[in-house]
Structure 1
Amino acid sequence: MSVSNEPNLTGPLLKILFIGPMGAGKTTAIHCISDTNPIGTEASNSDSEQSNKSTTTVAMDYGSIELGPDEVVHLYGIPGQDRFKFMWPILAKGSMGCILLIDDTRENPIEDLKLYLHEFRDLISKQAFVVGIGKTKKDSHALDKYTQYFAERDMYAPIMEVDVREKADVLMLLEVILANSEIKGE
């Protein structure tokens, strides 16, 4: 993956959507791997009950990463608050897949998982999908409850423990979703 100031737009346009609740790390993940200066729509957080973050995304995050000549992946992050939910289908349009980020330290991360699986069910059923579980306690078996949730519903998705501040972790999510997209025939 090469670093460039501007994305090369002569090849096919590939779009990956980062989804998940407020504070799960969507903005951080996009900033971590983007070859270009990411564009964000951060505003002061007025919902401190949902997260103690000082800012929140109100429309979207955008970045891009060049995989090779004429191959750019466009990275979009949804706003995590319900009041900006109207943006979700707009941003999902044309996506080749989505990366669901879950903050394992939230009060009920399985409920977060359920919400995003439901809201993005059409995209998830047709396109590549991967789950990144963040903010876990090491050796906590955090992934077990998520794999069990999927197994009980006869669902499959790659589920990985990630630190979205680490470029290697976010690139791993991207590589998995691109590989799954090829398998699905994208």
Structure 2
Amino acid sequence: MRPSDNKILFAGPVGAGKTTAIASLSDVPPVTTDATASDMTLDRKGHTTVALDYGVLMLDEDTKVHLYGTPGQERFDFMWDILSQGGIGLILLLDNTRPHPIRDLQFFLKAFDKLLQDAPLVVGITKTDLATTPTTAHYADILETLGLRPPIFEVDARNREDIKTLVCALLYSIDPGLEG
């Protein structure tokens, strides 16, 4: 952790809860770049992020964490590289109701492989109340075959405490000596 400013990325497919997660955790009103959906995204929701979401979490007087949400659509992948610069970690949100959430996992791990070479990963699975499979154990098995053992949590992106758990797990991955 840097003493003043830190940057965490939230990534994942459309509808996984990135915008909602940042809004639920940010200590300032979040900045969003939602636009009316005009492609297959319209089947899942009416608006989608086209550039980024942004919020700030104040850890103490001197330390803040900048929260950046990436667009979920592959056509905006140029933003993924831009937003990854200077990131200290990645929170990958996966929507368990999507047709192929394991493929989503594999796709986003590959898309953010450059960041993940130097930064930790935490995985949050959303909408498990609507689709109970795959389970967190299944995700863990897939990740382990890829040589990864990140913390994995079932979360509700609307719940500040759930999202705070993701951020804390990421920060503890960076510095296990951090105080709660």
Residue 96 (structure 1) aligned to one of 69, 88, 98: 88
Tell me by how many angstroms 1:151 deviates. Answer: 2.1
Identify the residue that residue 143 of structure 2 maps to in structure 1: 150
Q: Is the 8 A contact 1:65 1:72 kept in 2?
A: yes
Identify the residue that residue 171 of structure 1 maps to in structure 2: 164
Identity of aligned residues (%): 45
User: 1-side partners of 2:102 and 2:85: how far apart?
Assistant: 26
Residue 6 (structure 2) aligned to one of 14, 19, 44: 14
User: 2-side partners of 1:98 and 1:152: how far apart?
Assistant: 19
The TM-score normalised by the length of structure 2 is 0.91
Q: Is the 8 A contact 1:63 1:74 kept in 2?
A: yes
- Asked if 1:161 is matched to 2:158, the reply is no
User: 1-side partners of 2:145 and 2:132: how far apart?
Assistant: 21
Q: In 2 relative to 1, CA 167–43 (structure 1 residues): closer, same or farther, beyond 3 Å?
A: same
Q: Is the 8 A contact 1:102 1:133 kept in 2?
A: yes
Q: In 2 relative to 1, CA 106–139 (structure 1 residues): closer, same or farther, beyond 3 Å?
A: closer
Tell me by how many angstroms 1:149 deviates. Answer: 0.4
Deviations along 1:83-109, one digit per CA (max 9) or x if unpaired, are: 111111000000000100000110000
The SS at the match of 1:113 is helix
Q: Is the 8 A contact 1:42 1:56 kept in 2?
A: yes
Tell me by how many angstroms 1:52 deviates. Answer: 1.8
User: 1-side partners of 2:108 and 2:43: how far apart?
Assistant: 17
Residue 57 (structure 1) aligned to one of 21, 45, 49: 49
Q: In 2 relative to 1, CA 57–139 (structure 1 residues): closer, same or farther, beyond 3 Å?
A: closer
Deviations along 1:37-69, one digit per CA (max 9) or x if unpaired, are: 100000001123574211000000000010101
The SS at the match of 1:68 is coil
* Correspondences of 1:70-81 after superposition (within 5 Å): 70-81=62-73
User: 1-side partners of 2:116 and 2:43: how far apart?
Assistant: 26
Tell me by how many angstroms 1:152 deviates. Answer: 2.2
User: 2-side partners of 1:92 and 1:110: how far apart?
Assistant: 22
User: 2-side partners of 1:65 and 1:17: how far apart?
Assistant: 13
Mean Cα deviation higher: 124-133 or 99-108: 124-133
**Structure 2: gaps spanning 5 or more residues:** none
**Structure 1: gaps spanning 5 or more residues:** 1-10
Q: Which amino acid aligns with 2:149?
A: Y
- Asked if 1:41 is matched to 2:37, the reply is no
User: 2-side partners of 1:97 and 1:108: how far apart?
Assistant: 24
- Kindly tell me the number of residue pairs found equivalent between the two proteins: 173
Q: Is the 8 A contact 2:97 2:130 kept in 1?
A: no
Q: Which amino acid aligns with 1:178?
A: L
Q: In 2 relative to 1, CA 140–31 (structure 1 residues): closer, same or farther, beyond 3 Å?
A: same
Identify the residue that residue 130 of structure 1 maps to in structure 2: 122
Residue 18 (structure 2) aligned to one of 23, 26, 45: 26
